[in-house]
């Protein structure tokens, strides 16, 4: 997984978390999942893997993509929130 792919995962995760017009229409479980960078990043990761490697699918690689994406999205989301809180102070 390249840095560009990780940034794509974060961009999609950020968009889902902050610009999803369905937040009010979803149940509490789905709404809580979409508010979690780790959870949303995990699902974005395996979906990105499927879009790239559907012809030579590997479950281990898909899970690896999912966890790499979730960790990267969580770290970057936490760092962004920290920086935003310092700017507001």
Higher pLDDT, residue 80 or 19: 80
pLDDT digits (tens, 9 = 90+) for 41-77: 999 999 999 999 989 999 999 999 999 999 999 999 9
The per-residue pLDDT of the chain, averaged, comes to 89
Token code pair at residue 50 = 């499927």
Q: How many domains does the chain divide into?
A: 1
Domain that holds residue 67: 3-88
Cα–Cα distances (Å) from 40 to 17, 33, 55, 56, 85, in that order, read 8, 7, 24, 24, 22
């Amino acid at each position: 997984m390249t840095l560009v792919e990780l940034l794509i995962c974060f961009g999609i995760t950020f968009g889902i978390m902050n610009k999803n017009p369905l937040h009010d229409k979803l149940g509490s479980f789905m709404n809580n999942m979409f508010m979690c960078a780790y959870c949303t990043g995990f699902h974005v990761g395996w979906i990105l893997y499927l879009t790239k490697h559907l012809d030579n699918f590997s479950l281990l690689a898909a899970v690896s993509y999912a966890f790499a994406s979730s960790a990267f999205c969580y770290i970057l989301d936490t760092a962004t929130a920290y920086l935003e809180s310092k700017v507001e102070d």
